[in-house]
Structures are given as C-alpha cells and as structure tokens.
Amino acid sequence: MFSQIHLPIAAIVCLMQVGVGNEPSVLADPPYLAQWRECMAESGPLYEAGRWDEATKILERALEYARHFAPLDPRLARTIHAVGFLYQQQGKYSAAASQYRRAIHLWEQMGPQQHDAMRLSTDNLIGTYLESGEYAAARKLMESRLPEMERSTTDWEDRATLLNMRAALAETQHRLGEAELSYRESLALWQQHARDKNSALVLMNLSHVLSEMKRYQKGLDAIMEALAILEKLDATVRPFVILSLDHAGSLYMKLQRPGDAGAAYNRALRMAETTFGAEQILTCAIMLRYSAALRALGQRDQAKVLASKAKTMLGRSKERLTVDVHELAEFR
C-alpha cells in the first residue's frame, strides 16, 4: 500500500506553515512554556536537515508540554498538527490521522477565526487517507472540500491545487482517464510557473494513475522525472524521494527489470533507514518489496533474511486507521 502515491498539493503542509514555533517570550514564563519553546526551536532545524526521526521525537516531547496549555489555545492544536505531519511523512498513517482529527476538533471549537488552520489539517487528513488506501473516507472529505475550493479559486495556483484535488477524487472513483487529464492540467500550470516541488508531486500522482492504467513505462518516465526534480531540492523533500524510489522499484518489477528494481529499492531502503529509522513501518515495507526483487534475481538467501526481518518488525506494528473524522479521542 505504501507505493500508492496520492499527495494532493493542498495536503502537503509543512509544520512551520501553521505557525508552530517562534512564540514571543516573557520574563515570567512557566517552566512548561519554556520547555515547549525549546522543543519547537530544536525541531525546526532537524526537520530542515531531513532528520525526521529526531524531529519527531522532539515534537512528541513538545506535545507533552503542550498538554499544559488551555484546551483552546491555538498552540496546542498547532503542535498536534505538526506531530501529525511528521507521522504522515513517515507512513505512520493511523497515528497521523488521529492527530489531525484532534487538531480539526480543536479548530472547530475555536470558531471561524481558525478556518484556514482547520482547512490545512483537513487537507492533510485527506492526504493521509489517500496514502493509506482509505479511499471512502478520503472521498467523503474531498467531496465536502471541493465546493469551497471552487468558490475560492482566484489565481492559477488555486486552480492548479483544485485540479490536483479533482484528479485525486476521480482516481478514487476509478475514473482514471479524467484523473490523468486533471493531473496533466495541474502539472502544466506548475511547470509554467517553475514551481519544481509542486511539479514533482503532481508527477508522482500522475505516475500512480498511469501505473493503474497499466501504462508502466509512461508511469516510470513520470516518476523518474519527479525524482530528478526532488533530488535537487533540500532535505525536507527526502520522504518524497524515498517514495519515488520505492514506486520506481515497483514499476521496474512490472516491466520485468528486477535488476533496476533492486537498485531502486536498495537506494530507497538505505535512505529510509537513515531518515526514518530501521524499524519504522515504511522502511519495513520497502524491505519486503526489495526482497521480492532479490528473489527475482536469484538471490534467495538474502531475500529470505530481508523478508523475515521486515515481517518480524511489521508484526509488532500497531498501525491501524480509524476513518471517521468525528471519532475524536480526547486530548489527554
């Protein structure tokens, strides 16, 4: 399921975009506030350096300190959203969805002044559902979001984002030709304005649609184009590089090119271990697919060891996705 790359542009919201850190200090700060600020300050550089596992641990500590904020303090919801974002990028989809639902619940309680923040958390939740294959839940949210997006579209960037969301919805409804057309229209807009990261993300989406249509070589061309863009950008896009390499490996396998698949999976695995950690769920999923490529290459002993290691760690995982947006656990 991890090679199903659905990343609506509107859903790729970095933790710094919702104002997580840089809160002004006062002389009489209580200890928890000073500790929260310290964690937020530490997490930013780690995120920017692509040290996702470390950034996540720091933000989890920040969330512990944020428990002391008032229930409707925006900093609490921002911290929850930020943790959800890092979980999402590491393939921890059930944990990410839980955090986004908590944030949405708080934004709703805060009222209309937090509408934009609630929209960002909702879009990230849509992305999480799409990435984890929870298409019914994603469709429900996209169908509720699209009318507002259509009403508020005022420039080319809004239209490019809207087209990408329409394409994702069409894909979940198996209207693949329509999805391809909308992705290509979105891509043309981003490319026209030299927005490289956004172009790469739409190329990733397009590649997945082409793969579903069994146009594997075209899908491979698209994902390799995305990868060429992403590898020139900063470390914050590293999760997308990993997903692109992983998806390229699956396409090479479909094209009966196990040698190329093995090379792509090997790169993805090494990067995932460094970025996310050796036992993280996405890392383990890549191990399993890499082992299939190794079997196809006749390297059965190595494949068996790798698959056994991955299955053991995945067996310990408690990843599970709850899809009801309003099944919101209390923040304890």
Say yes or no to pLDDT of 309 above 80. Answer: yes
Dist. CA 202–CA 96, nearest whole Å: 22
For residues 310 and 291, the answer to whether their CB atoms sit within 8 Å is: yes
Give the span between the Cα atoms of 169 and 135, in whole angstroms. 9
Q: What is the pLDDT of residue 276?
A: 86
Looking at per-residue pLDDT, the higher value among 32 and 321 belongs to 32
User: Which of 8, 153, 64, 3 lies closest to 331 in space, CA to CA?
Assistant: 64
- Reported as a single tens digit per residue, the pLDDT across 269-303 is 999 998 888 888 889 989 999 999 999 999 999 99
Q: Using CA of residue 127, residue 129, residue 133, residue 134, what is the dihedral sign?
A: negative
H-state helical runs in 213-237 = 216-230
User: For domain 9-315, which CATH number applies: 1.10.240.10, 3.90.1150.10, 1.25.40.10, 1.10.150.20?
Assistant: 1.25.40.10
Residue 247 near residue 230, CB atoms below 8 Å: no
Using pLDDT thresholds of 50, 70 and 90, give the confidence band for residue 330: very low
Calpha distance 26→199 (Å, rounded) = 43
Cβ of 30: how many Cβ atoms within 10 Å? 10
What is the value of pTM for the model shown?
0.85
pLDDT band of 75, cuts 50, 70, 90: very high
Q: Over the stretch 108-152, which tens digit does the pLDDT of each residue have? A: 999 988 888 999 999 999 999 998 889 999 999 999 999 999 999
Average pLDDT, the chain: 86
Sequence-distant (6+) residues with CB within 8 A of 256 are none
pLDDT beyond 50 at 6: no
In this prediction, residues 21-27 reach a mean pLDDT of: 49
- pLDDT at 319 (0 to 100): 54
Query: In the prediction, which pLDDT does 198 show?
Result: 92
Residue type, 317: S
Cβ neighbours of residue 177 closer than 8 Å, sequence gap 6 or more: none
**Confidence at residue 99, expressed as pLDDT on a 0 to 100 scale:** 95
Residues 309, 314: Cα–Cα separation, whole Å = 9
Which CA distances in Å does 12 have to 28, 56, 89, 123, 254? 36, 17, 9, 8, 29
d(CA 12, CA 161): 11
Segment 183-221, tens digit of pLDDT: 999 999 999 998 899 999 999 999 999 999 999 999 999
Structural tokens at position 277:
């950690």
* pLDDT confidence tier of residue 91, bands split at 50, 70 and 90: confident
Tell me the percentage of the chain whose pLDDT exceeds 70.
86
Is 24 or 167 the better-scoring residue by pLDDT? 167
Q: What pLDDT is recorded for position 50?
A: 86
- Break the chain into its structural domains and give their ranges: 9-315
In the prediction, which pLDDT does 28 show? 61
Rounded to an integer, what distance in angstroms lies between the CA atom of residue 89 and that of residue 106? Answer: 22
The pLDDT, as a whole number, for residue 12 is 37
| pLDDT on residue 22 | 46
- 95: amino acid identity, one letter: A
**Looking at residue 317, what is its pLDDT?**
62
- CB proximity list for 111: less than 8 A, separation 6 or greater: none
How far CA 312 is from CA of 55, 277, 288, 306, 321, in Å, comes to 26, 15, 11, 10, 20
User: Rg (Cα) of the chain, in Å, rounded?
Assistant: 20
The whole-number pLDDT of residue 1 equals 30
Q: Is the pLDDT assigned to residue 320 strictly greater than 70? A: no
- Asked if residue 232 has pLDDT above 90, the reply is yes
Per-residue confidence (pLDDT) for residue 311, from 0 to 100: 86
Is residue 257 scored above 90 in pLDDT? yes
Sign for the pseudo-dihedral over CA of 195, 198, 204, 208: negative
